[in-house]
Structure 1
Amino acid sequence: MPIYQSPVQDTLYLLNDVLGYPDHASLPGFADASPDVLEAILAEGAKLAENVMLPLNRVGDLEGCTRHDDGSVTTPKGFRAAYQQYREGGWMGLSTPAEYGGQGLPYTIHAAVGEYLSSTNMALMMYPGLTQGAIAAILVHGNEEQKQTFLPKMIDGAWTGTMNLTEPHCGTDLGLLRTRAVPNGDGTYRISGQKIFISAGDHDMSDNIIHLVLARIDGAPEGVKGISLFIVPKFRLDANGNPGAANGVSCGSLEEKMGIHGNATCVMNYDEAEGTLLGAENGGLKAMFVMMNEARLGVGLQGLSMSEIAYQNAVAYARERLQGRSLSGPKNPQGKADPIIVHPDIRRALMTMRAFNEAGRALVLWTALNSDIAHRSDDEKARQAADDMLGLMTPVIKGVLTDKGFEHAVMAQQVFGGHGYIEEHGMSQFVRDARIAMIYEGANGIQALDLVGRKLAQNGGRAVQAFFKEVGEFCEQNRADEKLAPFTKGIKKGLNDLQAATMWLMQNAMAKPDNAGAASTDYLHLFGLVALGYMWGRMVKASQEKLAEGAADAAFHENKIVIARYFMERVMPETSAHLARISTGADTMMALPAEAF
């Protein structure tokens, strides 16, 4: 059975020593989560992940979900009880407003604990994950009656939520959707249509499921301008606000999937189901984007989570598996072979994964902290700057972390050799589960286009210029520090490549849009490398300061510096290759006629 240990020490180091979490004590919710409370919350989250979620991960993969003749769905053995423990622990409402029953703590803590839980059972954690997104959409766009009706039960976890976008004939291009909404004349609507790929669409873990459904009101404009968003509960609510009669909502079938078998991915049929409008008429896409952006950050976290648990298991195997002799002489002279962790190519895999995981964790927490500032600060300038950075980094986190999460799950599987291909070791499940994160909540090619086509030019380029300025100033302020210079030099080189790529796009994409499309994925990963490199720069600075103070955990900080050096020497130079590809433009990529493929 796979092993896992929650990286609590690393999380605390990042929040307290690198990212300045204690400096935000004046923000609402932060005072209630002092460093001592933060450590206690992370420790409890780690116990839940390791003792409850992890043992059920393989169970969910083997059993999957079951659809019954009446359209209801049951989850794998143990899932319902584990979800109840999650619910009773108050984890659903950790960062939601106290006025609706939440604890109001920072979203940053929710993200930190979320990594541990997703690492240990990604499929199970998708049920509350989708609910979090639905809560966010109702908080932003719901009227007070809707908030009072739905949020307390969802925040408690008694009710769960979903998002319903995709239809059999349309995915990303939502302007093609056909689901209809017909007014009843009393403020409600009859929703009819079919949605596919609906994660957590039906299950047995909550008393009601609150579906957020995109549909077109009869007579609305064509395309995305005529889309509205509706709240459609599985069970209609009675006069007391409790689940009553069944609504016209049913699971038509369960998708047979490559991975995440423990999550019910449903074809949902709506047959004149009663729904209420969420937000403005024809403003559905705007309302849904609140949920989608929340989900995209969560999916990026899934990529990191899969990379982390795959890495931990690869390390454990590499320490134990005896095969061959070290190239520099025996390291296990009493045995007939050395553990494979002595071999440079195994080290390459392990160091690459670890260098990504630790920087990726920093990037997620930095972005989560920006989210808290954007939503909680009373300083308008700080709020705007944080919101700009949050919007800019969302496609980077979703795209880069999930691409690398899958790549590293495969890399970890390779460390196991033939045993990695055998189901009992669990590596196959990590590979299969990680793969979906590159696809759903906007395939990664769409994330790249979002970054290049929307985020760079948004507000006159304000966000990207602020990012360039922040990273550039970090390099400049620490340039004279001899110990930091090897790191700031690498970051600065990467930043120069990123700025050159940005300038190339500005000069070549407007006249020829295919140039932007051809460059987008390379640009996304170039941006990601610079962001991860910047995180490593901040970690090295923090660790060097700790060592100068005589930190008791000196080995922890010395290891950080070694891993950072590996990243700068072995990973950061990839920025040059991305720039070279970007600069070739789209001509060769688009040269073959379609029929020649």
Structure 2
Amino acid sequence: MTTPMSRRDLEFLLYEWLDVETLTSRDRFADHSRETFDAVLELSADIAMKCFAPANKIGDANEPYIGDDGKVVLPDEVVTGLAEYRKAGLISASFDDELGGMQLPTVIRQASAVWFQAANAAMSSYNFLTVGNANLLAEYATDEQRETWVRPLVEGRFSGTMCLSEPQAGSSLADITTKAEPAGDGTYRITGTKMWISAGDHELTENIVHLVLAKIPGGGPGVKGISLFIVPKYLADGTRNDVALVGLNHKMGNRATTNTLLNFGDGTFGADSAPGAVGYLVGEEHRGLSYMFHMMNEARIGVGFLATALGYAGYRASLDYAKVRTQGRPVDQKDPSAPPVPIIEHADVRRMLLAQKSYVEGSLAFGLYCSTLVDEAATATDPAERDRLNLLLEVLTPIAKSWPSQWCLEANSLAIQVHGGYGYTREFDVEQYYRDNRLNPIHEGAHGIHGLDLLGRKVIMQGGAGLAALAETIGATVERARGVDGLAGYADELHSVVDRLVKVTAHIWSAGDPKLSLANATVYLETAGHIVIAWIWLEQLLAVGSRTDDFYNGKRAAAQYFFRYELPKTGPQLDLLTALDRTTLDVEPSWF
């Protein structure tokens, strides 16, 4: 079985580039060392390969279904694999000691999680959602709520979800209709329907803690009237809450993750003195969306990791295949009787492998960098430095979600191409990796929405401070690289395109027409993403230094590919953005 993740690459990124050992000098992580980090990563790799990877194709071929008793049925291998994960205590990795957590850095938790995402994306989603759910509640819940709901989540006895979308309202949360009525006893009664709820029902844990967005009467229109509620499948006394599984959605990929339509408060499981599912308010009324963004932003970076992991797994599989599959002869070989060569000997196959390598290793490095920002901001003692780190993370988050979702999916497509006809069959893993990854450009906000977020909010926030923080950070890398033999050309090229991005951004908003400025926001997102990944590759080259074994030479080749084949694509994109093109605005619906 091909190992879907590279330990050597993770070690390089964590220890040779990001130097995460320095985090142990901060009070929060003082009890840890490289030894504890390595132990967690070793355990993660072991469980991922022994318990998650073997269940990947089984879960894909045997989708969850609702049994005669109304309960969700999952393959035994999925159930036992997730039980092993919970038994290892890995859900608790980054939580506070007082909640029963290991208090590990977020970057180590993500490096651990990426093993499971690469080995079995669908199974990993149950844990991913539970961690995000518990993190939100640890931040905003009352002490009683933390004790009742968060501690069992951290222990792995409960699992968690996020319930935002509804059948008529996907990303447009202003249009949700789920209601919450005060019950007079400090609780609320929740009525409504939620759609696309991953891990929304199963029998894997004792309980499922749903975080539900709903509107309390009188809260005002749009998103300002939204509040957030804990709505458990079972109440604290064991009583079944009125949360009903209506059906399972049948997906193209990620099939072993149950994806559900849920009804809250429809009377399926009865009611007490007031109809509706019992809900417990998180924080204050009408501030639910701001709280949920805590989980959503974490989830967006997590989706970027999921896309990266699947792209990485496909790259590794196609690399192994290309080394053993023989076909054709070198173009300068005229003897038809000469033996065929492994396809990796052909320049076009190496092109496809280099493209994949540049996408997936660039994305993994970028995701770990963002995770390190989380740790540094959370433990910064200087308020100004904390604000700078948080601002930089705000700007990078839409890119961290969307760039890997687009380009690691392209890596999966190239992995199929490397396999040829075999890649298009279910007998080879790369077909499933593509299907599993196709969700991620939609997941946690479609690609276009993150373009609007980046161009419409993040780069202009605080009078342009967000973009300035990014440009300044990249500029520091450029200055370091200019003094290193072989890197000055890359540094100058990156400096030029960053400078142009800043000027084009100002030009876009000088039009005085937000509709026109945002018409090509997706192109802006793709352009900024390519620039950021080029920066991340330059950072990796600085960490490589003058070392010349196969691993480091491979890093150089991937960086060279990205700067020569990918970064130049930003030129025409910046031209288009500068032109403030109206094509998509002026086309009439009737013309299609």
Give the TM-score, by structure 2 length. 0.95
Shift of residue 469, structure 1, vs aligned partner:
1.0
Aligned residue identity for 1:528: G
Q: CA, structure 1 residues 21+29, in 2 after alignment: closer, same or farther (shift >3 Å)? A: same
Specify the alignment match of 2:351 in structure 1.
348
Write out per-residue CA displacement over residues 41-86 of structure 1, whole angstroms, 9 at most, x where no aligned residue: 2122111112211111101100011113444212222111111111
Aligned residue identity for 1:492: H
Tell whether the 8 Å contact from 2:360 to 2:411 is kept in structure 1 after alignment. Answer: no
Where does 1:376-525 land on structure 2 (aligned, <5 Å)? 376-508=379-511, 511-525=512-526
Whole-angstrom distance in 1 between the partners of 2:315 and 2:501: 29
Where does 1:121-520 land on structure 2 (aligned, <5 Å)? 121-238=120-237, 244-271=238-265, 272-329=276-333, 336-508=339-511, 511-520=512-521
Q: CA, structure 1 residues 133+317, in 2 after alignment: closer, same or farther (shift >3 Å)? A: same
Whole-angstrom distance in 2 between the partners of 1:226 and 1:5: 44
Write out per-residue CA displacement over residues 494-537 of structure 1, whole angstroms, 9 at most, x where no aligned residue: 313322332222323xx222333222111111111121111111
Q: CA, structure 1 residues 192+428, in 2 after alignment: closer, same or farther (shift >3 Å)? A: same
Shift of residue 28, structure 1, vs aligned partner:
3.5
Whole-angstrom distance in 2 between the partners of 1:249 and 1:131: 18
- Flag structure 1 segments of 5+ consecutive residues without an equivalent: 239-243, 548-552
Tell whether the 8 Å contact from 1:247 to 1:274 is kept in structure 2 after alignment. Answer: yes
Aligned residue identity for 2:233: K
Whole-angstrom distance in 2 between the partners of 1:379 and 1:7: 36
Aligned residue identity for 1:261: R
Specify the alignment match of 1:544 in structure 2.
545
Tell whether the 8 Å contact from 1:306 to 1:430 is kept in structure 2 after alignment. Answer: yes
Shift of residue 380, structure 1, vs aligned partner:
1.4
Q: CA, structure 1 residues 438+137, in 2 after alignment: closer, same or farther (shift >3 Å)? A: same
SS at 1:373 equivalent: helix
Whole-angstrom distance in 1 between the partners of 2:117 and 2:500: 34
SS at 2:190 equivalent: strand
Shift of residue 487, structure 1, vs aligned partner:
2.1
Whole-angstrom distance in 1 between the partners of 2:5 and 2:17: 19
Whole-angstrom distance in 2 between the partners of 1:29 and 1:9: 27
Where does 1:543-562 land on structure 2 (aligned, <5 Å)? 543-545=544-546, 547=547, 554-562=549-557
Whole-angstrom distance in 2 between the partners of 1:234 and 1:474: 49
Tell whether the 8 Å contact from 1:514 to 1:586 is kept in structure 2 after alignment. Answer: no
Whole-angstrom distance in 2 between the partners of 1:67 and 1:149: 29
Aligned residue identity for 2:356: M
Task: Give 2:558's match in structure 1, choosing from 556, 560, 563.
Answer: 563
Where does 1:33-182 land on structure 2 (aligned, <5 Å)? 33-182=32-181
Whole-angstrom distance in 2 between the partners of 1:554 and 1:417: 31
Shift of residue 20, structure 1, vs aligned partner:
2.8
SS at 2:180 equivalent: strand
The answer to whether structure 1 residue 575 and structure 2 residue 591 are counterparts is no
The answer to whether structure 1 residue 592 and structure 2 residue 592 are counterparts is no
Q: CA, structure 1 residues 573+146, in 2 after alignment: closer, same or farther (shift >3 Å)? A: same
Write out per-residue CA displacement over residues 83-138 of structure 1, whole angstroms, 9 at most, x where no aligned residue: 11111111101011110111111000011111111011111110011111111211
Whole-angstrom distance in 1 between the partners of 2:392 and 2:10: 21
Whole-angstrom distance in 2 between the partners of 1:257 and 1:104: 36
SS at 1:423 equivalent: coil
Whole-angstrom distance in 2 between the partners of 1:533 and 1:480: 18
Q: CA, structure 1 residues 285+428, in 2 after alignment: closer, same or farther (shift >3 Å)? A: same
Whole-angstrom distance in 2 between the partners of 1:28 and 1:82: 34
Which of 215-224 and 267-276 deviates more?
215-224
Tell whether the 8 Å contact from 1:72 to 1:250 is kept in structure 2 after alignment. Answer: no
Aligned residue identity for 2:101: G
Whole-angstrom distance in 1 between the partners of 2:347 and 2:516: 39
Specify the alignment match of 1:532 in structure 2.
533
Whole-angstrom distance in 1 between the partners of 2:507 and 2:89: 49
Which of 580-589 and 173-182 deviates more?
580-589
Aligned residue identity for 1:270: F
Whole-angstrom distance in 2 between the partners of 1:132 and 1:55: 24
Aligned residue identity for 2:401: K
SS at 2:27 equivalent: coil
Aligned residue identity for 1:556: F
Whole-angstrom distance in 2 between the partners of 1:431 and 1:562: 25
Whole-angstrom distance in 2 between the partners of 1:361 and 1:28: 27
Shift of residue 5, structure 1, vs aligned partner:
4.2
Shift of residue 3, structure 1, vs aligned partner:
2.2
Whole-angstrom distance in 1 between the partners of 2:27 and 2:208: 30
Specify the alignment match of 1:16 in structure 2.
15
Specify the alignment match of 1:32 in structure 2.
31
Tell whether the 8 Å contact from 1:97 to 1:103 is kept in structure 2 after alignment. Answer: yes
Aligned residue identity for 1:60: G
Whole-angstrom distance in 1 between the partners of 2:55 and 2:90: 18
Shift of residue 334, structure 1, vs aligned partner:
9.0
Aligned residue identity for 1:401: P
Whole-angstrom distance in 1 between the partners of 2:544 and 2:332: 31
Aligned Cα root-mean-square deviation (Å): 1.7
Write out per-residue CA displacement over residues 128-177 of structure 1, whole angstroms, 9 at most, x where no aligned residue: 11111111211121111111111110001100000001111111111111
Whole-angstrom distance in 2 between the partners of 1:23 and 1:460: 33
Whole-angstrom distance in 2 between the partners of 1:473 and 1:459: 21
Whole-angstrom distance in 2 between the partners of 1:105 and 1:29: 8
Give the TM-score, by structure 1 length. 0.94
Tell whether the 8 Å contact from 1:229 to 1:277 is kept in structure 2 after alignment. Answer: yes
Which of 119-128 and 337-346 deviates more?
337-346
SS at 2:586 equivalent: coil
Whole-angstrom distance in 2 between the partners of 1:188 and 1:169: 27
Aligned residue identity for 1:248: D
- Flag structure 2 segments of 5+ consecutive residues without an equivalent: 266-275
Aligned residue identity for 1:382: E
Q: CA, structure 1 residues 182+4, in 2 after alignment: closer, same or farther (shift >3 Å)? A: same
SS at 2:545 equivalent: helix
Shift of residue 329, structure 1, vs aligned partner:
3.4
Aligned residue identity for 1:140: E
Whole-angstrom distance in 1 between the partners of 2:463 and 2:26: 29
Whole-angstrom distance in 2 between the partners of 1:270 and 1:69: 21
Which of 289-298 and 564-573 deviates more?
564-573
Tell whether the 8 Å contact from 1:195 to 1:267 is kept in structure 2 after alignment. Answer: yes
Q: CA, structure 1 residues 333+388, in 2 after alignment: closer, same or farther (shift >3 Å)? A: farther
Aligned residue identity for 1:514: K
Specify the alignment match of 1:241 in structure 2.
none
SS at 2:95 equivalent: coil
